[in-house]
């Protein structure tokens, strides 16, 4: 009986060991290919760009103001015969608005009257001069004598000179009155606001009945765009990127008003008057673009892409694959990692840093046929923020590279992707930890 009991115990232990081994192998075989999240290497075009946000601006804007104070009494008519308003198309010389001119018309009338008065004064001065001149001629013929006292002689001479000066004063008064009249007429003309150029009204800043006051600064009445078929985008570019931008650089941009549509342009000018906001220095870059169809409206927000370089038909790896590395604890158990995976550890994003010349080094991880991790050293190039150009003898298009770890089934029927940098609270070892 004892011998039979020992044999039964040995058989039971053997069955349990065999069942455990079979279960372990099944579990491992079922987990093959599902422990790691992967993405494939793709070949295609890569655009190196700088992103920024700007504002659509008319290429040439004229601020039409008032040079005199007064009340707006009426608006003019545009090319269609309609009252001038937002979006009205006007020609050069078109009347935009009229200011109450009653006071300025009175000034013109007063200046006219002053000229008449000055001319009358001149006529009187000339008559006095004629009489003084005759008296002076007779005095000179007689000379100082018993018939003409010395004092009388000198008096006739002084009267002649005074009359001569009075004529000059009267002539000067006429010139002064004419200048006052010219000024009054000019102010009267300023009561009619006209368009200096052909264009379209972007903004009307006054209403009928409103009083404008012109003091040190001319009040703005209308904002006029000369030509909306040529439009600009003004972009504030950080000082760290401004050295890469130059006139003629191609640019693409989008606006929220037309989602999914891309507009093209080029850098026209880099303004040198930098501005500083919260210790960040930025330069305004002017981008020129064609707007022949008039679809781009002034002051739309534009999302800009400065196209620094375009690379055609290059092999690209997701940046997530270049950033990923196995946690240091992986490989300590069964399976391990080939080519020194334990020594590499978890370097994170540092492996994707690329010098200014576009050349750098990085490491990609792949899963071989034995479900073991293998690292591949690659040469990295330029990146567009999502993908990076990679080169290497072992690389090929379509190759699957590791971008993360997939957690085991959490009980809800879905596998969860794991971030190797996130603490795993209340969980066992990751399914990819072999």
Identify the pLDDT of residue 349.
36
pLDDT digits (tens, 9 = 90+) for 182-211: 999 999 999 999 999 999 999 999 999 999
Q: How many helices (H) and strands (E) does the chain have?
A: 5, 22
Which of the listed ranges 148-152, 262-266, 341-345 does the model predict with the highest average pLDDT? 262-266
The three-state secondary structure class of 318 is strand
Give the SS3 label for residue 364.
Answer: strand
Q: What is the pLDDT of residue 394?
A: 84
Answer yes or no: is pLDDT of 288 > 50: yes
Report the relative pairing of strands 373-383 and 337-338 from DSSP bridges.
parallel
The total number of structural domains that make up the chain: 3
Report if pTM > 0.75: no
- Regarding whether 205 and 92 lie in a shared domain, the answer is yes
Instruction: Tell which residue, 89, 86, 64, 60, has the closest CA to residue 192.
Output: 64
What HEC string does 66-120 produce? CCCCEEEEEECECCCCCECCCCCEECCCCEEEEECCHHHHHHHHHHHHHHHHHHH
Interacting residues of 165 by C-beta distance below 8 A, sequence separation 6+: none
Q: Is 166 found in the same domain as 270? A: no
Rounded Cα–Cα distance for residues 148 and 142 (Å): 7
Structure tokens of 70? 């007064």
Q: Which of 202-211, 369-378, 421-430 has the highest mean pLDDT?
A: 202-211
Question: Cα Rg for the chain, rounded, in angstroms?
Answer: 46
Domain that includes residue 206, residue range: 69-99+194-225
CA distance 128 to 164: 9
Q: pLDDT tier at 145 (50, 70, 90 boundaries)?
A: low
CATH label of the domain that carries residue 83: 2.40.50.100
Determine, yes or no, domain membership for 107: yes
Say if 329 falls within a structural domain.
Answer: no
CA distance linking residue 418 with residue 422, whole number of Å = 8
Mark whether 148 and 270 lie in a shared domain: no
Same-domain pairing of 230 and 87: no
Exposed e or buried b for every residue in 210-219, given b needs 16+ CB within 10 A? eebeeeeeeb
Same domain, 237 and 254: yes
Q: Quick: pLDDT tens for 108-137.
A: 999 999 999 999 999 999 999 998 888 888
Point out the domain boundary residue: 292, 311, 330: 311
């Amino acid at each position: 009986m004892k011998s039979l009991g020992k044999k039964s115990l040995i058989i039971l232990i053997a069955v349990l060991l065999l069942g455990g081994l079979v279960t372990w192998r099944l579990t491992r075989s079922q987990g093959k290919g599902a422990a790691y999240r992967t993405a494939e290497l793709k070949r295609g075009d890569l655009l190196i760009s700088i992103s920024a946000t700007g504002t659509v601006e008319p290429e040439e804007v004229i601020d039409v103001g008032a040079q005199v104070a007064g009340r707006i009494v009426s608006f003019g008519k545009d090319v269609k015969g309609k009252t001038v308003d937002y979006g009205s198309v006007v020609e050069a010389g078109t009347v935009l608005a009229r200011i109450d001119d009653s006071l300025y018309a009175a000034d013109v009338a007063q200046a006219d009257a002053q000229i008449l008065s000055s001319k009358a004064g001149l006529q009187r001065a000339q008559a006095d001069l004629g009489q003084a001149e005759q008296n002076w001629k007779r005095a000179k013929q007689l000379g100082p004598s018993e018939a003409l006292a010395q004092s009388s002689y000198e008096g006739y001479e002084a009267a002649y000179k005074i009359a001569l000066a009075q004529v000059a004063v009267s002539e000067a008064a006429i010139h002064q009155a004419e200048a006052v009249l010219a000024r009054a007429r000019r102010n009267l003309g300023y009561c009619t606001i006209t368009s200096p150029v052909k264009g379209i009204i972007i903004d009307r800043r006054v209403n009928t009945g409103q009083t404008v006051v012109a003091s040190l600064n001319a009040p703005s009445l209308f904002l006029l765009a000369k030509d909306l078929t040529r439009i600009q985008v003004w972009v504030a570019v950080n000082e760290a990127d401004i050295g890469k931008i130059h006139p003629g650089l191609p640019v693409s941009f989008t606006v929220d008003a037309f989602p999914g549509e891309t507009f093209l342009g080029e850098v026209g000018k880099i303004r040198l008057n930098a501005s500083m906001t919260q210790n960040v220095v930025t330069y305004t870059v002017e981008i020129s673009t064609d707007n022949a169809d008039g679809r781009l409206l002034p002051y739309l927000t534009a999302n800009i892409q400065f196209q620094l370089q375009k690379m055609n038909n290059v092999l690209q790896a997701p940046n997530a694959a270049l950033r990923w590395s196995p946690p240091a604890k992986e490989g300590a158990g069964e399976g391990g990692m080939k080519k020194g995976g334990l020594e590499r550890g978890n370097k994170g994003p540092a492996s994707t840093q690329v010098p200014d010349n576009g050349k750098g080094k990085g490491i990609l991880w792949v899963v071989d046929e034995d479900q073991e991790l293998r690292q591949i050293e690659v040469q990295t190039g330029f990146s567009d923020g999502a993908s990076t150009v990679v080169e290497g003898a072992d690389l090929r298009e379509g190759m699957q590279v590791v971008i993360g770890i997939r957690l085991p089934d959490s009980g809800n029927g879905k596998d969860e992707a794991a971030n190797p940098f996130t603490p795993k609270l209340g969980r066992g070892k990751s399914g990819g930890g072999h």
